[in-house]
């Protein structure tokens, strides 16, 4: 029988929140008659989270769990959760009770009734630190919108819903969980929507992400744009860049030679800027070109695989 919803929850050191979270999700799903599964991915927590998940799975048959051997990060956790999810709609949410399970029915309807491929939550009113999080987040989302062309206010919101085929077609690796809508867009899913969601202050535990996320996030965004455009044909970028740079150097040299030929020995070659500029520019061009060849070799030999060691599984 096809489940209505798979709820995928990546977690790291959230022992206090889990029982309340599972009870709440279960209540909401019961009220709306959703058949569902709750997939919790414990990413090498150092607190008692995994024991709590195991305990919950005996109490709630809907609870399934994966425990990683060590801490890999939120993206690998989502990736493994997406792999095993069987629901018609997949909903992700944070484990810390900052996302409200009351949003599940609305997010579900937007996929099933309104036909969205992906719906991202928008924490319009946020209960996080204004200086270290909310303000940088606004700037960051602005840059994201501009770069990716996806008009979302809160791309990195943990609360999202998907058609199943979307999560099965994207590969969330590294720290790419911040850009899932970009990945989905590049995979060809165009109907991406947004829903204002309730955000709650953190009740237990501490935040695991600080301001560094914005630097890493920006670099990741550049990588995503690069990989999606040139990932399978790096020579198109490096080759063009290399040829252009080399040509600039070559023209400089040619110009110097012509001047020398015209003016004869009186032309002070070593006093010209071009004399010093041309060789490094030509070398740079050659290096771009060779980088392109190496990148092509890497692409051709890379197995597109994600391998994460799992220590234990329950219900899967």
Per CB under 5 A, residues contacting Mg ion are 96, 98
Report the nearest approach of ligand GDP to the CB of residue 95 (Å). 3
At 66, give phi and psi (nearest 5°).
-130, 130
- Rounded-to-integer distance, Cα 187 and Cα 227, Å: 12
**Can you tell me the distance from the alpha carbon of 23 to that of 37, in angstroms, rounded to the nearest whole number?**
13
CA 9, CA 3: separation in Å to the nearest integer? 17
What does the block give as tokens for 194? Answer: 């947004």
User: In terms of CB distance, is 98 or 144 closer to Mg ion?
Assistant: 98
Strand partners of residue 5: 36, 89
The partner in contact with residue 74, picked from Mg ion, ligand GDP, none with C-beta cut-offs of 5 to 8 angstroms by kind, is ligand GDP
Angstrom CA distances, 169 to 119, 186, 188, stand at: 16, 10, 9
Nearer to ligand GDP, 43 or 117 (CB): 43
Q: How far is the CB of 220 from ligand GDP (least distance, A)?
A: 15
Residues 225, 43, 201, 60: is their CA dihedral positive or negative? positive
Nearest to 39 by CA among 86, 74, 98, 4: 86
Among 8, 56, 73, 157, binds ligand GDP (CB under 6 A): 73
| Cα 124 to Cα 134: distance, rounded to the nearest angstrom | 10
Nearest residue (CB) to Mg ion, 91 versus 252: 91
Q: How far is the CB of 155 from ligand GDP (least distance, A)?
A: 13
Out of 69, 207, 216, 310, which residue is the one contacting ligand GDP (CB under 6 A)?
207
**Applying CB under 6 A, which of residues 56, 77, 104, 118 lies at the interface with ligand GDP?**
77
Determine the Cα–Cα distance for residues 181 and 150; give it in Å rounded to an integer: 8
Determine, following the binding rule CB under 6 A, whether residue 242 of this chain makes contact with ligand GDP. no
Which parts of 88-127 interact with ligand GDP (CB under 6 A)? Answer: 94-96, 98
Q: Which stretch binds ligand GDP (CB under 6 A): 4-12, 108-116, 224-232, 305-313?
A: 4-12
Pairwise CA distance, residues 97 & 16, whole Å? 10
Q: 137 touches which of Mg ion, ligand GDP, none (CB within 5 to 8 A by kind)?
A: none
Q: Which is nearer to ligand GDP, 163 or 199 (CB)?
A: 199
Here the tokens at position 143 are 């840059």
Name which of Mg ion, ligand GDP, none residue 15 binds, using a CB cut-off of 5 to 8 Å depending on partner kind: none
Q: Catalog residues that contact ligand GDP under the rule CB under 6 A.
A: 10-12, 14, 41, 43, 71, 73-74, 77, 94-96, 98, 128, 158, 207-209
């Amino acid at each position: 029988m096809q489940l209505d919803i798979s709820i995928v929850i990546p977690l790291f050191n959230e022992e206090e929140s889990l029982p309340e979270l599972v009870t709440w999700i279960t209540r909401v799903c019961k009220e709306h008659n959703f058949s569902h599964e709750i997939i919790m991915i414990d990413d090498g927590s150092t607190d008692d989270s995994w024991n709590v998940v195991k305990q919950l799975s005996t109490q709630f048959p809907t609870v399934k769990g994966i425990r990683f051997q060590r801490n890999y990060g939120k993206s690998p956790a989502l990736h493994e959760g997406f792999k095993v999810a069987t629901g018609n709609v997949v909903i992700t949410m944070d484990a810390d009770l900052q996302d409200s399970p009351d949003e599940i029915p609305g997010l579900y309807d937007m996929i099933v009734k309104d036909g969205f491929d992906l719906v991202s939550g928008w924490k319009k009113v946020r209960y996080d630190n204004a200086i270290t999080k909310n303000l940088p987040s606004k700037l960051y989302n602005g840059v994201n919108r501009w770069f990716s062309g996806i008009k979302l206010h809160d791309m990195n919101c943990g609360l999202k819903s998907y058609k199943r085929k979307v999560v099965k077609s994207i590969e969330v690796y590294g720290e790419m969980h911040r850009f899932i809508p970009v990945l989905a867009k590049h995979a060809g899913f165009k109907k991406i929507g947004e829903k204002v969601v309730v955000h709650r202050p953190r009740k237990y535990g501490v935040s695991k992400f600080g301001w560094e996320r914005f630097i890493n996030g920006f670099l990741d965004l550049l990588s995503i744009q690069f990989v999606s455009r040139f990932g399978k044909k790096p020579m198109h970028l490096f080759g063009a860049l290399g040829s252009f740079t080399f040509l600039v150097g070559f023209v400089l040299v040619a110009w110097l030679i012509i001047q020398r030929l015209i003016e004869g020995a009186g032309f002070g070659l070593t006093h010209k800027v071009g004399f010093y500029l041309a060789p490094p520019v030509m070398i740079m061009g050659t290096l771009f070109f060779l980088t392109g060849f190496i990148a092509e070799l890497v692409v051709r030999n890379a197995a597109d695989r994600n391998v994460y060691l799992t220590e234990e599984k329950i219900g899967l």
